[in-house]
Amino acid sequence: MFLIKILLSPFSFLYLLITSFRNHLYNIGYTRSFKFDTKIIAVGNLTVGGTGKTPHVEYLIRLLKDSYKIATLSRGYGRKTKGILIADDKATASTLGDEPMQFYKKFSSDVSVVVGEERALAIPTILFEKPDTQVILLDDAYQHRKVIPDLNILLTDYNRPFYEDSILPGGRLRESRSGAKRADLVIVSKCPANLDEEKRNEIISKIKRYSSATAPIFFTGISYKEPCSVFGNSVETIKKIILFSGIVKTKGLKAEVEKNYELLKFFEYPDHYEYSEKDFKKMANYYAENYKEGLALLTTEKDMVKIISHPQRDLLENLPLYYLPIEVFFLRDKEKFDALVLNSLNNLS
């Protein structure tokens, strides 16, 4: 790994120059950013994927949806459509992308779900089509500097914090660590529930080398809920699991499954994976060949939204297929975080 980083270091240096120059142009006002009257909350990271943006956006939706008219705006990574699209009852993971489709499936009655590559163009469209919108949640928009948010939330993974990472392609950073200074608050995600005070203070100290001195730092973990049936076929008691997923980091997922069940097989695919008929047949055949009482298939919520609209879903429809919902929880200072978010929405017009 070290040798690979050395070999890639010239490319990382070039990438750093490009991203730093781009940020400099925004910082001096040479490249224009847009400020909207509608309140904007941005959630993002300095690294490529895997920090838990989706469950944190869902946390914000739950916090705000009963008091404000909300829209989520994502790029729609992996979708087969282009341009600005407002989700409706014809939406699928193919038209929206898997994460926006997850928002729509869970919150369509409370939230407008929108995708668009250019957020600065998509926001006026939202306000024209949904004029009662009061708050827009920008998903994965930390580097999208054309829009000035009212609250800029930076996520970093406890298991691979940005201050220990390096610039692409040698590492996973999209820009310099100093980009953390733009954050109004920082969340260290995927923390163990028993994180002690000494380790917490050590992390805070290292983040503060790069972030604003006034930006508070919070710590969250992932809470796994009870498995939910995808197609209504259930087993009386789940004992054994055939697991499959297309997400960035699977360590926590695998550990959660192994803690509660016997894991027979794990079909592991790349992030935002587009499942094929061959993949479904392989999983169905493995289930048939290894059938035992209490055996079920299990996937993530993000993968589930792709399966329910898949042309070959019938290959899995008659099997006991479940998905595992997740939510974030704050290790401490939840009320402080909620108050900061709500205070950012003061003077809503």
- Calculate the CA dihedral of residues 35, 41, 46, 51 and round it to 10 degrees: -160
Token pair in block for residue 178: 């100093």
- Calculate the CA dihedral of residues 198, 204, 209, 215 and round it to 10 degrees: -160
Same domain, 241 and 148: no
- Asked if pLDDT for residue 282 goes beyond 80, the answer is yes
Can you tell me which residue has the tokens 């479940």? 322
- Asked if pLDDT for residue 349 goes beyond 60, the answer is no
Same domain, 151 and 32: yes
Determine the pLDDT at residue 13: 84
- Asked if pLDDT for residue 1 goes beyond 70, the answer is no
- With b meaning 16 or more CB within 10 Å and e meaning fewer, what string describes 157-184? bbeebbbebbbbbbbbbbbbbebbebbb
Domain region containing 37? 2-68+134-223+330-343
**Cβ neighbours of 311 (radius 10 Å):** 8
Same domain, 174 and 215: yes
At residue 2 the predicted structure's pLDDT band, cuts being 50, 70 and 90, is low
Same domain, 146 and 57: yes
- Asked if pLDDT for residue 188 goes beyond 80, the answer is yes
Q: Are 143 and 49 in contact, with CB atoms under 8 Å apart?
A: no
Q: What whole-number distance in Å separates Cα of residue 114 and Cα of residue 186?
A: 25
Same domain, 52 and 139: yes
Same domain, 278 and 217: no
Q: What is the pLDDT of residues 304-317, one digit of tens each?
A: 999 999 999 999 99
Same domain, 207 and 281: no
Determine the pLDDT at residue 347: 72
Q: What is the CATH number of the domain that holds 314?
A: 3.40.50
Range with the poorest average pLDDT among 12-16, 87-91, 183-187, 251-255: 12-16
Same domain, 178 and 244: no
Same domain, 64 and 146: yes
Determine the pLDDT at residue 348: 67
For the chain, the average pLDDT equals 95
Measured in residues, the chain has a length of 349
